[in-house]
Structure 1
């Protein structure tokens, strides 16, 4: 009992100190002198203009104040290893709960990257034809709103690469306590869902059109064919095998987890702290930059043929290759070229949360940034700092 009282008192003191200083170091790991020097350089090299401009280097904590961003959590990958991870500010501004590297943020559309791995693992394990029509693998629902597809096949590959020509860009989620729709109700646009039904807008395989609605169809495909709840399948088959043990797709999230509170652009918290996303494949992942770095490193090592905990080298290469010529989308990822080097990447935007990761296809470099704010600009500023400090 005395130990518990002492721990509670110590936590209260730490929170008081953090509220006075505006920065929290509690529970952040310590690193070698060389790594700590890189961390300090990143913290003091943010830029609000492109690197080739004459912009001035800026401080992370000051930029957090400017952007009204309560918490920032960062992980940097160097040579196929986590170089460092650190969190700043407050997981919940009102109650002054410090953000740590264990604080969970909504990954929003980064969920689509992990979902693609989940679908591809199922497909590879069961010799599934990714180019067959999706109705081949749908058991409890049939996609019928496809008049504008003109009889063309809509495949799982189309859904994963946003080349199916489908509607519903994204989702706003539901306040905690609201009635949640089933996956089929979401696809049909029936109450209590708050989005329209998924339908074809044009022929597949003609051009890119981002569709969280299409991603949600893959959620149903996995549930139909594995016999498992989507969150359970992803936990057992994708997250746990690569050590993402702090992460989950479960919706609503367990209440005893260290969840960050989402904040609007002016800094006020969401009414129920966060929104719930039954569209788990498209937007439901709760995670940390440290855990996301494990996914990135696994994919990078798989590309080298050095790890196949989730996918074979061939399947990972397929995931990282643009599906349509002239487009930048692989399966659950975007392929970008920056300063002559190719990266796979994805961003995320849920109500009150923003995030993004970039990871090199070669050399094993990467960065993940997650914030509990509507303001994305600080993420770009941090990326510029990391690129500058690490000379990417």
Structure 2
């Protein structure tokens, strides 16, 4: 038997269709089970007056994956070239999604948090390999490795050995309001009220990757300690306001707060949706109250609490794509932006989702086949979000969904792959010069690849054999320069590009290419803790087109 709530919601859904499309709707209760308490029906999407091919493709994908609402934007070079919204930002009130709808963007926030810290880095407030203890004002150590420091770089690459386990997870799940009250020190020092050894992994800092929201919370806390400002106020003053973004980690500060999207999770049948976050019931969000001391930013959600729109976030992404500058506004020096986007870690984590990482920027080959993209993804409370750009074509996409079928990750959800591919197929240049122009000097601390600077963990080397000169680069930097994937077993490095694989081992003058052994003019070699590999022979084996200048 149907509940009164179900008929009320069905009637509301019919009103949504009638008001937005002017079409005669079909009864939504036909062949529908009773709506679970607290859930909303997903009404049919708005019927566009003159839908483009792109509109039809995106709406078809939304229908397939039962997406509540979608906002998307595409930027190219120095401008926004397209944006639109589809579906619903609030199922109770039939409020549609537009390109200006604001979403809680989840882990896309980490790019902003890292940017805030790196602004302080370029002011020489700290070095990336400094011990964070010296800036927090108390000693932070993994109890399993008490003699190993934990650094800024490790926090920004998720290799600090600080995890989301222990007290952080239980507080977030059970008593999240507590994050606005407690001193983060009490979670990090052995005599702290909320300290547990489970917060730390059983590997040494800097040796393995473990995705950590808590680690990014510490990054936000360091921003407070070093700048002397609350984290959210710092981001508004030095990032959002200069870029003219309606964005904040504090919802009460948003100008367009009435257009914040409600986030939803579906039932098992994907027919009804339960609101999970940002359901403000038509009232302006009240400012959060904090009693935690400055330097304890967890309650301000540096890891996931940013609210903004796809169009405004495109300003931030354009700044990163264009060397730290958006139009005439600079938020980072070009060298700092390049450093953040350079490969700092490689491996295989989270079932292959993370294979390459910059400084809180994700480097991926898996969202759109054949494209290396730089950016980040997000997921929380039913939301799924992506913001990435292609450094070769200077094209970027942003899209946010506030609920739907998110069950088939491999490593991205299928709906993410479908939307990203549709946007790139529509807007990417039909022909792209894929030649990697690499400029290097012997003993230099960096190389230039297509105008992008890659900082090297060890100096480049030019090795002469007879009349031939070969450029040797650190193994991780070679992968970054060529735009290929990299794996490691001991001192053997395996590079993958499409169907081609090449494996090199320190001290061996041979390379295994697609199962066949090839001789090298000079063997890869170890310099301190870094293995250097020959870039020309590697590029030839992988069939990557390069043009060298050294």
Q: What TM-score does the superposition give when structure 1 sets the normalisation length?
A: 0.78
Q: Larger radius of gyration, structure 1 or 2?
A: 2
Q: Which residue of 1 aligns with 2:416?
A: 379
Cα offset, 1:223, TM superposition = 1.2
Post-superposition CA distance 1:315-360 (Å, at most 9, x none): 1111001213555110111112465543212110111211011201
Distance 1:252 1:148 in 2: 42
Cα offset, 1:89, TM superposition = 1.2
Look up the SS of the partner of 2:241 in the other structure. helix
- Equivalent residues of 2:250, 2:300 under 8 A apart: no
Cα offset, 1:198, TM superposition = 3.7
Distance 2:258 2:370 in 1: 41
Quick one: which of 129, 132, 136 aligns to 2:130?
132
Q: Which residue of 1 aligns with 2:358?
A: 330
Distance 1:328 1:283 in 2: 21
Give runs of aligned pairs for residues 1-392 of structure 1, distance below 5 A. 16-18=18-20, 22-24=44-46, 40-44=52-56, 59-139=57-137, 142-144=139-141, 146-168=142-164, 179-182=177-180, 184-185=182-183, 188=186, 198-244=199-245, 246-250=246-250, 256-266=257-267, 267-270=272-275, 273=278, 278=299, 280-302=301-323, 309-324=330-345, 328-337=356-365, 341-376=371-406, 377-391=414-428
Distance 1:294 1:390 in 2: 18
Cα offset, 1:172, TM superposition = 9.5
- Equivalent residues of 2:140, 2:150 under 8 A apart: no
- Equivalent residues of 2:111, 2:360 under 8 A apart: yes
- Equivalent residues of 1:181, 1:192 under 8 A apart: no
Unmatched runs of 5 consecutive residues or more in structure 1: 1-12, 27-35, 45-58
Distance 2:316 2:18 in 1: 35
Distance 2:421 2:81 in 1: 17
Distance 1:196 1:17 in 2: 56
- Equivalent residues of 1:212, 1:282 under 8 A apart: yes
Assess, with a 3 A threshold, how the Cα gap between structure 1 residues 102 and 25 changes in structure 2: closer, same or farther: farther
- Equivalent residues of 1:24, 1:99 under 8 A apart: no
Q: What TM-score does the superposition give when structure 2 sets the normalisation length?
A: 0.57
Q: Which has the higher strand share?
A: 2
Assess, with a 3 A threshold, how the Cα gap between structure 1 residues 251 and 174 changes in structure 2: closer, same or farther: farther
Assess, with a 3 A threshold, how the Cα gap between structure 1 residues 374 and 118 changes in structure 2: closer, same or farther: farther
Cα offset, 1:61, TM superposition = 2.3
Post-superposition CA distance 1:119-164 (Å, at most 9, x none): 000121244211100111103x5424x1223522211111011111
Distance 1:100 1:79 in 2: 23
Unmatched runs of 5 consecutive residues or more in structure 2: 1-14, 24-43, 281-287, 289-297, 348-354, 407-413, 430-550
Cα offset, 1:196, TM superposition = 9.6
RMSD of the alignment, in Å? 3.6
Distance 1:42 1:347 in 2: 22
Distance 2:181 2:156 in 1: 17
Assess, with a 3 A threshold, how the Cα gap between structure 1 residues 83 and 271 changes in structure 2: closer, same or farther: closer
- Equivalent residues of 2:154, 2:206 under 8 A apart: yes
Assess, with a 3 A threshold, how the Cα gap between structure 1 residues 40 and 379 changes in structure 2: closer, same or farther: farther
- Equivalent residues of 1:168, 1:196 under 8 A apart: no
Assess, with a 3 A threshold, how the Cα gap between structure 1 residues 343 and 242 changes in structure 2: closer, same or farther: same
Query: Aligned pair count?
Result: 351
Cα offset, 1:272, TM superposition = 5.7
Deviates more, 1:78-87 or 1:210-219: 78-87
Look up the SS of the partner of 1:133 in the other structure. coil
Assess, with a 3 A threshold, how the Cα gap between structure 1 residues 159 and 251 changes in structure 2: closer, same or farther: farther
Assess, with a 3 A threshold, how the Cα gap between structure 1 residues 216 and 142 changes in structure 2: closer, same or farther: farther
Distance 1:174 1:167 in 2: 13
Deviates more, 1:99-108 or 1:323-332: 323-332
Distance 2:53 2:345 in 1: 40
Q: Which residue of 1 aligns with 2:490?
A: none
